[in-house]
Chains A and B, each alone.
Chain A
Amino acid sequence: MTISWRSDNGCLVKIVVTVKQVPDPNSATLLESDNTLARDREVVLDPGDECGIEEGLQLKEAHGGEVILVSMGPERAKDAIRKGLSMGADRGVLISDVQLAGADALLTARALAAAIKPEQPDLVICATESYDGSTGMVPPMLAELLGLPQLTIAKKVEVDGSTIKVHRQTADGYQVVEASTPALISVTAGIAEPRYASLKGIMAARSKEIKQVGLSDLGIERGEPGETIEGIADAEARKAGAIIEDDGTAVDRIIQVLAQAKVV
C-alpha cells in the first residue's frame, strides 16, 4: 500500500474502525455446549470499540475525512454499527455469513482484512481486546494481513502529516512510538470518552449506508480453524490467607513470609 495521508495539505484521512457486537458486559457470561459464547442475550457495541470510534471521530474532526465502521457478526450486529453511525461515523460495512459462525481470531482477521483492504484507509483503529473473546489477537493479525505497521495499546494518538505517534501504555508508564501511515493502532479504553449520540445524529444514522457482504463477496473461504477451544476449566478458588496473630513478633513474621514469597 502506498502512503496516502490523502490530500494536498496532508490532512484528509480515511479511518476504518473495527467494531464488534458483544454480549452486554453487565450480564453474566454463558457458554454453549461447544464452548462458544452464548449469543442469545442482550448485545451491545463493545465498549472498547466505542472508544475507538470516538478517537476516529476526533481525528476526523481535527483533520477532515471519513470514518468507516467494519464489523463481522450476525445480521443484528448492524445495531452495533448503527450506534457508531449515530455517534457520527459516515458509513458501515457488515460482514455476515453463516459460514463465519464460531469463527476464530484468524478467520475474523482474514474476513476483516478482506473487507478493509479495498477501502485503502490511512488508519485502522481496533480496541486492544474485545470484551467477550478477549484474545487480543485480531489487531496484530489484521495488521499483518493488511501489511501495515501496528502501534498497540495506544492511550493517546497524534497525527502530523503522514506520521502517526502514539503513547503506548506500559506497566509503569508509556512509550512514545511512531510510524508512517497507513498504519493500524489498537487503543485502550482511556484514549477517549465516547460521546453520547444526539437525536439528530441518531436520525441521520438511519439514512447512512451499511453495506452487507458475505464470504464470496470478499473472495475468501473459511479454511481450517487456527484455534479451537479444547476445554474450559474454572479458575482455582482462592485459598484462605494465613492469619498472623500479634503476640509482639507479628511484624517480623510478616516480613519473613513476604521474603519467602520474594515480595520483599
Chain B
Amino acid sequence: MYFTDAHEELRLHIRKFLASEVQPHLEEWEEKTFPDSIFKRFGELGFLGLRYPPEYGGQGGDYFSAVVLSEEMARAGLGGLGMAVDVQTEMATPPVFKFGTEEQKRKWVVPAIRGEHIAALAITEPDAGSDVAGITTVAKRDGDHFVVNGRKIFITSGARCQWALVVTKSDRERGHKGYNLLVIEKGTPGFQVTRTLKKLGMHSSDTAELLFEDCRVPVANLIGEEGDGFKNLMWELQGERMIAAAGAIAGAARIFEYTMDYAQNRQAFGQPISQFQVIKHRLVDMGTKIAAVQAFVYQTAAQWDKGEYPVREISQAKLLATQVACEVADDAIQILGGHGYMHEFPVERAWRNARLGRIGAGSDEIMKEIIAKTYGL
C-alpha cells in the first residue's frame, strides 16, 4: 500500500549491502565506533541522498525510500550507525536544504549526500534539553560574523563531524524570534570537542560534548532568515520524530521475529516454551502491538510524504513506537531467559539501544505535552 516494487527492489539492495559490508564489522564497531569511511560507501551507493533531487547528487526518491533505509538499518540491528545515518539524512541536512541558500546547499548538503562530510545537529545543552527555548548558547552579531559562546552535550557524531548545525540564541531577548541555526565547521577557531561520552547503548556511534568559545562564524553560515531558527527547528523535529518512529517499530519487529523463533525451538518441561500460555499470549501481545503501531506509523509517514504537517500524529507515532520497542525488547529478554541477558544474543543490545528512543528527539513526557496542546488541553 505504501511501498512500490521500486522500494522493494531498493530494500533488497540495501539489505544485501548491509549484510555483506556492514554487519560483519558490527561487533568491532560496537567496541570502537564505526569508521568514517563507511559513510563514504553509503554515499557512493546513494543511500545518504535517497530523498534529495538528482541535481544535488540525490536519488530523487520519496519519503518512503527514507523509511526503507531506516527500517533496513533497524532490521540489521545497526543501532548507533543507524542513528548517525538518520542524523545525517533526516536531521542535520534537511533544514540546510529546506531553508538554506543555493550556495549553502552546494557547500554542505552535497558533500553530505556523497558521504564526504559527516554532519551533526546540536540542540541539547548541559542545562537545557527538553526545554529547547531554554538554551543559553549565544550567537552575538559582530559585523559579518556571529560570535558563538556556549556548550552542547549528547551530540551524535559530534566528535567526527565536519560540520554541525548549531541552535543558538541571539543576545537580544526576542522570545521565539531570538534563535538562529548556524552551520559551524570543524576547525573554526573556538569550536572544540571537549569529550566523548560513554553510554548505555548505541555504542557504534560517538556522542560528544562541544564547546564554543568566542567562535567566529561567518554570517554566510546562517541557515534561514535571522530570527526564524526556532520555527525552523520545530519543522526539523517533526522529520526527526517520524524517522525515529519508523526505525523503532522496525527494530521491534525484528526482535519479535527473533523471539518467536526462539520460543518455538526452546524446550522446557518437555515442550517448546511457546506452548506455555503465558508465553504464547505474551508473544501475541508483542505482535499485535507492533502490527497496530506499524500501520499508524505508515499512515502518518504518508501524510508527511504528502507535505502535510501532522504534529499530533507524528508525536503519537514517536511516543508509541519507541515505547513498544522498549516493551518488546524487555519481553524478549524475559522469554529468552538467561540467554536474553547475554551479549551474544541480539536482544540484549536491542534492549539497551531501544531505551534511547523514549528520551531522544523529545522524551515521552514532551510528546505528551505536545499532543495535549493539539487537543487544546
Binding site for B on A (CB under 8 A): 82-83, 86, 196-200, 202-203, 206
Contact = CB atoms under 8 A, between A and B. Distances in A.
A196 B10 CA distance: 9
A202 B45 contact: no
Given A83-B9, A86-B9, A200 B45 contact: no
A15 to B, nearest CB: 22
Contacts of A198: 45-46, 59
A199 B61 CA distance: 7
B54 interface: yes
Given A197-B13, A199-B59, A206 B46 contact: no
Given A197-B10, A200-B59, A202-B6, 10 more contacts: A82-B9, A196-B14, A199-B46, A199-B50, A200-B46, A200-B54, A202-B9, A202-B13, A203-B6, A203-B60
Given A203-B6, A206-B6, A196 B60 contact: no
A112 to B, nearest CB: 25
A188 B45 CA distance: 24
Contacts of B46: 198-200
30 contacts: A82-B9, A83-B9, A86-B9, A196-B13, A196-B14, A196-B16, A196-B45, A197-B9, A197-B10, A197-B13, A198-B45, A198-B46, A198-B59, A199-B6, A199-B10, A199-B46, A199-B59, A199-B60, A199-B61, A199-B65, A200-B46, A200-B54, A200-B59, A200-B60, A202-B6, A202-B13, A203-B6, A203-B59, A203-B60, A206-B6
Contacts of A196: 13-14, 16-17, 45
Contacts of B16: 196
A82 B12 CA distance: 13
Contacts of A203: 6, 59-61
A83 B5 CA distance: 11
B267 to A, nearest CB: 25
The residue in B9, B10, B50, B54 that gathers the most chain A C-beta atoms within 10 A of its C-beta is B9
Nearest to A201: B46
Contacts of A199: 6, 10, 46, 50, 59-61, 65
Contacts of B14: 196
A37 to B, nearest CB: 22
B305 to A, nearest CB: 15
Nearest to B61: A199
A201 to B, nearest CB: 8
B5 to A, nearest CB: 9
Nearest to A86: B9
A65 to B, nearest CB: 23
A82 B10 CA distance: 12
Nearest to B16: A196
Nearest to A206: B6
A202 B10 contact: yes
A197 B6 CA distance: 11
A198 B65 CA distance: 11
Contacts of A197: 9-10, 13
Contacts of A82: 9
Interface string B107-134: 0000000000000000000000000000
Contacts of B6: 199, 202-203, 206
A67 to B, nearest CB: 18
B205 to A, nearest CB: 23
Q: Which 4 A-B pairs have the closest CB atoms?
A: A198-B46, A199-B59, A196-B13, A200-B59
A15 B6 CA distance: 26
B57 to A, nearest CB: 10
Nearest to B41: A196
Interface in B13-47: 13-14, 16-17, 45-46
Contacts of B17: 196
Interface in B59-87: 59-61, 65
A203 B54 CA distance: 12
A198 B6 CA distance: 10
Contacts of B13: 196-197, 202
A206 B7 CA distance: 12
Contacts of B60: 199-200, 203
Indicate the member of B10, B50, B54, B65 with the most A CB atoms within 10 Å.
Answer: B10
A196 B9 CA distance: 10
Nearest to A198: B46
A82 B50 CA distance: 20
A198 B46 CA distance: 6
A220 to B, nearest CB: 32
Nearest to A197: B13
Contacts of A86: 9
Contacts of A83: 9
B3 to A, nearest CB: 12
Contacts of B9: 82-83, 86, 197, 202
A200 B59 CA distance: 5
A18 to B, nearest CB: 21
A78 to B, nearest CB: 11
Nearest to A194: B16
Contacts of B45: 196, 198
A200 to B, nearest CB: 5
A196 to B, nearest CB: 4
Contacts of B10: 197, 199, 202
